[in-house]
Chain A
Amino acid sequence: MQQADVLEIERKADLMRQYICKMCLLSNSGHPASSLSAVDVIAALYFKSMQSDDCFILSKGHAAPALYSAFILKNIFPLSTLQKFREFDSPFQGHPDVQKLPQVNATTGALGQGLSIAIGRALAMRLKGQTRRSYCLIGDGESQEGQIWEAALFAANRRIDNLIVFTDYNRRQADGPLEEVMPLGDLQKKWESFGWFVQKVNGHSITEITHAVSRAKEILGQPTMILASTEKGYVSADLTVLGGEHAAAMTSDVYTKVIEKLGLADFNIGDIC
Chain B
Amino acid sequence: MLNPALGTRDYFGSGIVELARFNKSFVVIGCDLGLPTRTLEFRREFPDRFIECGNSEANALSIAAGLAQEGIKPLICSFSHFLTSRFLEIFQSIGLNNAPVVLVGTHIGLAIGKDGPTQMGLRDLGLIRLLPNFKIIQPCDGVETQEALKYCLTNNSPAYLRLGRQPAPSILPESYKFKFSKMIEVVEGRKLAIITYGGLVSEVLKVAETFNNARTNKVGVINVSSLPYEERQLSKILNKYKSLLIVEDQYYKGGLFDEVAAFMVKSGKSIPVKQVAVTDYAQSGRPEDLYRHYRLDVASIKKVCKQLLSK
Contact = CB atoms under 8 A, between A and B. Distances in A.
Interface in A73-120: 97-99, 105-110, 112-120
A153 interface: yes
Contacts of B71: 124, 128
Contacts of A112: 58
B308 interface: no
Nearest to A120: B66
B88 interface: yes
B89 A120 contact: no
A121 B96 contact: no
A120 B58 contact: no
A97 B56 CA distance: 25
B3 to A, nearest CB: 34
A146 B62 contact: no
A123 B56 contact: no
B28 interface: no
B69 interface: yes
Contacts of B54: 153-154
Nearest to B96: A107
Contacts of B70: 120-121, 124-125, 128
A248 interface: no
A98 B68 CA distance: 13
A147 interface: yes
B96 A117 contact: no
Contact of A116 (B69, B93, B98): B93
A150 interface: yes
Q: How many interface residues does chain A have, given as a range?
A: 20 to 34
B92 interface: yes
B59 A150 contact: yes
Interface in B90-109: 91-93, 96-98
A112 B63 CA distance: 12
Interface residues of B, number: 30
Nearest to B74: A120
B41 to A, nearest CB: 20
Contact of B89 (A124, A147, A153): A147
A7 to B, nearest CB: 35
B205 interface: no
B65 A154 contact: no
A117 B65 contact: yes
Interface in A123-154: 123-125, 127-128, 134, 146-147, 150-151, 153-154
Interface string B47-73: 010010110101111111111111110
Contact of B66 (A97, A106, A150, A153): A106
A58 to B, nearest CB: 13
Contacts of A153: 54, 56
A125 B72 CA distance: 10
Contact of A147 (B62, B69, B96, B97): B62
B247 interface: no
A99 B67 contact: no
B305 interface: no
A123 B51 contact: yes
Contacts of B97: 98-99, 106-107, 117
A108 B62 CA distance: 11
A53 B60 CA distance: 24
A118 B63 CA distance: 7
Nearest to A98: B97
Nearest to B92: A110
Given A110-B88, A121-B66, A150 B72 contact: no
16 contacts: A99-B96, A116-B58, A116-B63, A117-B93, A118-B66, A120-B62, A120-B74, A124-B67, A124-B71, A127-B27, A127-B48, A127-B67, A147-B56, A151-B62, A153-B54, A154-B56
**Top 4 A-B pairs, shortest CB-CB distance:** A120-B66, A116-B62, A124-B70, A150-B56
